[in-house]
Amino acid sequence: MMLKRVLLLSVLLSIYIVFILGHSFSEDTKNFQIKKHPEIQQIKPKKPVRIKLRRAADDKYTWEITGDDVDEIVRADRKIRKMLKIK
């Protein structure tokens, strides 16, 4: 008789604990939200700098540089001038 009461009490206690813990974990998942950062979604890949190099009949070079990033265009121009030794 005493063994049945202890067994019944332990079963009820374990069901109660499972119910309480399950309820508290479900509240934690409801409060968890995924935050989206619009600045990350709008990042576009960089377009490369395009260079059209031309050589004239008198061995002089001209070039056209196009691109989106001004700093990259300036770096490319300096590099071309250095390679061709033009000031």
- pLDDT tens-digit profile of 30-78? 666 777 766 666 767 788 999 999 999 998 899 999 998 899 999 999 9
Q: What is the mean pLDDT of residues 18-38?
A: 67
Domain range annotation of the chain: 2-33, 43-84
Nearest to 50 by CA among 27, 24, 69: 69
d(CA 72, CA 46): 10
Q: Please tell me the pTM assigned to this model.
A: 0.47
Spatial contact of 40 and 57, defined as CB atoms under 8 Å apart? no
Helix, strand, or coil here: 7?
Answer: helix
